[in-house]
Amino acid sequence: MTTLDLTGLATRPAQVWGAVRLVPLVRDEPVDDLRLRPQLYGDGAGLVEAGPRHAYVSYIPHGFVATWTGDGTPAAAYGTQLSADGNSAPSATMGLRFHRRMARRQAKDRLRFLPMHLALEGYLALHFGGPSLAWAEWSQRAIRQGLSPRVEEAYVGAEVRGLTDALRIFEIHPGQCGVMVYVADALAAAFAVPHPDDYRALHPTLVQDLYGELIHHYATLMPPVRDFRTRIPDAHIHSLADLRTAVAEQERAWTHFHDTTMLAGLLEQVYTWQTVYRMGRFTLSRFLPAFRPKQENHIGEAITDDRGRITYLKTFRLSETQVRRGHLLGKLAANDWHLADTAAELGIDEAQLGLRLESAGFGFLLRQDVLDGYRKRGRTRPG
């Protein structure tokens, strides 16, 4: 699978609050043999052992626990776990919670994973080892340490203006199993779960999720979005049956517009998938986009069933700066980190590529004298 297929999830009428638009997703048939529940960790920072000598540090307020059955019989989520630690650190210090792996098996039919951080760690690990060949232009730090440490910034949902109120005020649709979150009609996040009961339990966690720089700016700076109100001409309405037919047509028109226009940037992208864990007939994976500059790019994670249908989905929209970093790293890796060959593929000269790397935050990868030479050539370039 290379694209996202939301077969089985249907769009319902949107709800608007300021610049936030929430589009409910319902399932034709809930998935009964896979259930999700939250596991709360509090406000302390989290440190995840991502691999030998590699760690991931972030604000991790909660994890998800997936429970499944091997024979297809219904599985029941057994409730949120609240933990009170009598030996907590004083309030003047920042707590730190340690996690072993992004996804860790807790029992034969139970897996704990860290939602969204699973996807973000995949993005941060992109070509993390640095240059594959020790070309003369690369610094000793780049050769020895690669991109370590790799840092990205995001905003917690509580800092996205209007999101908390929207999630608190709007009613959960009957049978709702997910939601598309738009800010200024830019897709901020897609979220889907197997069962309506799971969604009701996990709906509040959207405020604790991470959102990109673009989404935060849009929520702060953009005016309220327009509500798509339905208008049904009464000329052909002669009975309740006619009214029901007209309403159904309007709902189909909205669904078509949403799925083919508003959601196109997510669904029409080709992704690179990485399998993280197999759970009976289900597979937990994360995915990365093709990093197309000046276009919509999302990273995310999903659980798919044995037919490839998505039962769980969570996405994160990258900022243009983050897309540019991924694009540059991808081009360098494809050319064995040879600067001249990469610059030729991009249609620029080597100095311009070096300055792009510096602008993207990767200047430390280049030797200082090489970077100084690129800067000098940039200042003396005609025009």
8 A C-beta contact, residue 80 and residue 38: yes
Q: Directed axis angle between helix 350-359 and helix 320-334, to 10°?
A: 140
* Contact by Cβ (8 Å): 150, 162: no
Per-residue pLDDT, 186: 96
Residue with tokens 């030479």, as numbered in its chain: 373
Residue 90 has pLDDT above 60, yes or no: no
Sign, CA dihedral 149-151-156-157, equals negative
Q: Which helix (H) or strand (E) holds 122?
A: helix 117-124
Contact 34, 193 (CB under 8 A): no
Q: How confident is the model at residue 377 (pLDDT cuts 50, 70, 90)?
A: confident
Q: What is the pTM of this model?
A: 0.86
Mean pLDDT, residues 140-163 taken together: 90
Determine the pLDDT at residue 128: 87
Q: pLDDT digit string (tens) for 334-357?
A: 999 999 999 999 999 999 999 999
- Average pLDDT for 184-190: 96
Q: How sure is the predictor about 168, in pLDDT bands with cuts at 50, 70 and 90?
A: very high
Range 348-371 average pLDDT: 93
- Residue 181: strand pairing partners: 22, 189
Rounded-to-integer distance, Cα 241 and Cα 231, Å:
17
Instruction: Answer whether residue 89 shows pLDDT above 50.
Output: no
Give residue-wise pLDDT tens across range 25-60.
Answer: 999 899 999 999 887 776 666 767 766 667 777 767
**How far is it, in rounded angstroms, from Cα 207 to Cα 157?**
4
pLDDT level of residue 156 (50, 70, 90 thresholds): very high
Are the C-beta atoms of residues 191 and 167 closer than 8 Å to each other? no
Q: Is there a contact between 63 and 33 (Cβ–Cβ < 8 Å)?
A: no
Residues facing 35 on adjacent strands:
67
The C-alpha atoms of residue 306 and residue 345 are separated, in whole angstroms, by 40
Quick check: 124 pLDDT over 60? Answer: yes
> Comparing 255 with 106, which gets the higher pLDDT?
255
Q: State the DSSP code for 335.
A: T
Candidate from 8-22, 67-81, 332-346 with smallest mean pLDDT = 67-81
- Average pLDDT score, the chain: 86
Question: How does DSSP assign 197-217, residue by residue?
Answer: HHHHHHGGGGGTSEE-HHHHH
DSSP single-letter state for residue 258: I
pLDDT > 60? residue 359: yes
Q: What is the mean pLDDT of residues 282-293?
A: 94
Given 3-state DSSP classes, what are the helix, strand and coil percentages for the chain, each rounded to the nearest 5?
Answer: 30, 30, 40
Helix (H) or strand (E) holding 69: none
Rounded distance between C-alpha atoms, residue 250 and residue 238, angstroms: 17
Counts of helices then strands in the chain (DSSP H, E): 11, 18
Please check the confidence at residue 333 and state whether its pLDDT lies above 50.
yes
Q: Which two tokens stand for residue 332?
A: 């360098």
* pLDDT at residue 43 in the model: 64
Rounded to whole angstroms, how far apart are CA atoms 34 and 20?
Answer: 30
